[in-house]
Structure 1
Amino acid sequence: MNLLADLKKGKRGAIAKAISIVENDESEARKLIKKIFKTSGKSVVIGITGPAGAGKSSLINKTSVSLKKLGLRAAVLAVDPTSHVTGGAILGDRVRMTESTDSGTYIRSIASRGATGAISHSIRNSVRVLEYAGFNPIIIESVGAGQTEVEIANIADITVVVFNPHTGDSIQTVKAGLTEIGDVYLVNKSDLDGATQLFESVKEFIGMTERNPIILQTSVTKNKGIDEFAKKLKEMMAQKQKTKKDRDIKRLDSELKDIVLNNVRIRIDTLLESDKNYAKYLKKLQSKELDPFEAADKISTSIFK
């Protein structure tokens, strides 16, 4: 199988294989990225985040179908909590997204593996694979709360935060650290009680900020607001395309630093294992002759002589 040729044609088997390489085989991933890197950076990345239970998967499913009607070919990367049994991603999302898969959307779950930099690394390169296969936009769905959301906002060109009226005290939910990152805020499940109140809270807390984000109501079960959301995304994609180059310059800077720091970390780990000074100062630390900072300074000085 000629992986690159099949990838260019958007063949699903080739895409699945390429993303598995990116996730699991560093030396093969390097070879692959070397071949496709020059053409990367053209697709718009949409990050969709928000509390667990906000209905993100069902929303993405319907939105992908609406985007297709607008002439766009979306792909979805769902960043899942790592499965404790296999170390792979839990694939519940795919089950909930059958409709969009049938319409030509490509959906893939990626295990978050509990590491922060590792998420960025495998997502960045998976995005490059999907770009090469002709998808635009590429939607990244985050797992839920925490560091992942901030990381996805760093990778995404457009960040969408999804709330629903049943994720606890509405105003507290709105304030929980998500107020800075969204370009679009959706109150999903808007057919439920409390949706209007939550919508008003979001407008009050977030709509008045300088960034002036878009605030919409959607309901998957009533099929309400989804087409409007898809149209807004298409308009925003056109705007973001104009400034994408500047954002990519910053992102490549932070990606390069990540990779360099990772390389240095691996080298230092190897060095410390065989370093006599490390063993010597560790003993002094364990016997309380030195405090941890003194010991670390002495080891660092000996390494960077």
Structure 2
Amino acid sequence: MWLDLLSELKKGKRGAIAKAISIIENDEKKARQIVKKIFKSSGKSTVIGITGPAGAGKSSLINKTSIALKKLGYKAAVLAVDPTSHLTGGAILGDRVRMTESTDSGLYIRSIASRGATGAISRSIRNSIRVLEYAGFDPIIIESVGAGQTEVEISNIADITVVVFNPHTGDNIQTIKAGITEIGDIYVVNKADLDGASQLFESVKEFIGMTERNPIILKTSTIKNQGIVEFAKKLKDLMEKTKKSQKEREQKRLETELKDIVINNVKTRVDQLLESDKNYAKYLTRLQAKELDPFEAADKITASVIK
């Protein structure tokens, strides 16, 4: 079974990719077996994180850009992080509608559900990236919505981080200054054909472009097909540049991944211990009766669990 799946995966068969990523998401035991088989060949593809608010036009931008990247010799895949639930499918239906042009030309797109546990997004994405690498995709684009913990995790996984704004999603100087100004290698003002785009572009240049990091600031319009080729070429330049330090970044990511897994293992073990620990129930009752404060109760429980 594994040999057949891996053989089909190596050939880039879409059915095998879908099956492998479904296993990664839903069956930890089998996921471990897949990762064990493909791990040694992982860590070679460039990972591009693309984030920004809902409505910024990320999917349409990825659609056009992946076609431009193909002309430059790249074969891209997209993992779209669903910040809602695994059951709803989030924005992926809309993503697929907007990406039909690029999927017809070879782009692979898949939604990944965020789960809320420490490192859960990273774990799911990391191993899905490994599947796509094994299937021959490079770069692998991670698309996510909004700013927050998900974006921090993704920027830690990504080799290149792109932040997308547009003038009609409430993006302005206040939100930019308070938002994701530290993680981007490229900032894109999308929907440049709309009113306010030039003003937003100048604001981004002033407040982000002039920093020591000196990120790239671009304007794009998918409707008018403006700036797409330039964006793809900037990504190509950065991809070539990041390849030089690929091994070093991979080692740092593996260290972070190891810590995430250990923390999750410990958390799972502690949850199991608490369920069966008589002292937990005893001190919980005393806490609820306000005989102990939460810190006292927690210290006593911790002392009984960790000996």
* Coarse TM-score class (shorter-chain normalised): over 0.9
CA-atom RMSD, angstroms? 1.4
Aligned position for 1:254: 256
2-structure distance, mates of 1:116, 1:56 = 26
Deviation at 1:144, TM superposition (A): 2.2
Tell me how far 1:146 sits from its aligned partner: 2.3
Q: What's the counterpart of residue 54 of structure 2?
A: 52
TM-score, normalised with respect to structure 2 = 0.96
Q: Paired residue for 1:5?
A: 7
Aligned to 1:153: 155
* 1:73 Cα deviation from its structure 2 partner: 0.3
More displaced 10-residue stretch of structure 1: 186-195 or 145-154 = 145-154
Deviation per residue, 1:199-233 (Å, 9 max, x gap): 11011000110100011110000000000110110
1:10 is displaced (CA, Å) by 0.4
Question: C-alpha separation between the residues in 1 aligned to 2:9 and 2:90?
Answer: 22
* 1:263 corresponds to: 265
> Secondary structure at the residue paired with 2:244?
helix
Q: Which runs of 5+ in 2 are unaligned?
A: none
Offset, 1:195: 0.9
Correspondence 1:138 to 2:140: yes
Give the letter for the 2:42 counterpart: S
Identity %: 80
Aligned pair count?
304
1:172 aligned residue (174, 179, 200): 174
Deviation of 1:82 (Å): 2.8
Structure 1 partner of 2:31 = 29
- What is the deviation of 1:286? 1.5
Distance 2:234 2:18 in 1: 30
How far apart, CA to CA, are the structure 2 residues paired with 1:88 and 1:275? 38
State the TM-score, normalizing by the size of structure 1.
0.96
Runs (4+) of structure 1 moved beyond 4 Å? 87-90
SS of 1:267's equivalent in the other structure is helix
The CA deviation string for residues 245-277 of structure 1, in whole angstroms up to 9 with x for no partner, is 111211111111111111111111111111111
The CA deviation at 1:113 is 3.4
Structure 2 vs 1, CA of residues 89 and 30 (structure 1 numbering), >3 Å: closer, same or farther?
farther
Deviations 1:166-216 (Å, cap 9, x if unpaired)? Answer: 122521232232110000001111111111111110110001101000111
Alignment map for 1:230-241 (pairs within 5 Å): 230-241=232-243
In structure 2, the partner of 1:70 is 72
Q: What amino acid does structure 2 have at the position aligned with 1:121?
A: R
Partner of 1:194: 196
Tell me what 1:272 maps to.
274
Query: How many Å apart are 1:137 and its aligned residue?
Result: 0.2
Report the counterpart of residue 100 of structure 2 in structure 1.
98
